[in-house]
Amino acid sequence: MRKPRDIDAELRALSDKAKGLKARKITQLGELVAATGADSLDADILAGVLIAAVEAKGGEVTEGWRRRGEAFFQRQGRTSGSAAGGRRSPASRSSGDAAG
């Protein structure tokens, strides 16, 4: 007979993993703000820009933003000598080349 699974322990492990992932996401968002230079903006301005982006309903404007973001990450990948084709997360760039 097999040993029964400890469902409570598995749920605790999943909860801990979810908390870690949420913390990593928040850290990466902060690193993205710094990497783009947006950390120099006042918090009110940055919040307003982000709210406007969330409220945008797609179309030409958001497609332009997406293209600029994609180009930003590709440029960051080339300047750091990434072998992954320039597709790296903000956290992986945070060590040295995110400052500029």
Q: Which domain holds residue 10?
A: 1-42
Tell whether 65 and 33 lie within a shared domain: no
Asked if the structure places residue 96 within a domain, the reply is no
pLDDT in tens, 28-81: 999 999 999 999 999 999 999 999 999 998 788 899 999 999 999 999 877 765
Q: Are residues 37 and 1 in the same domain?
A: yes
For residue 2, give the 3-state DSSP assignment.
Answer: coil
> Do residue 2 and residue 37 come from a single domain?
yes
49 located within any domain: no
Same domain (yes/no): 38, 62: no
Q: The tokens 């993205």 sit on which residue?
A: 32
Residue 95 lies in a domain: no
> What is the reported pLDDT for 80?
65
Contacts of 38 (CB under 8 A, 6+ apart): 46, 49
Instruction: Quote the pLDDT of residue 81.
Output: 55
**3 and 34, same domain (yes or no):** yes
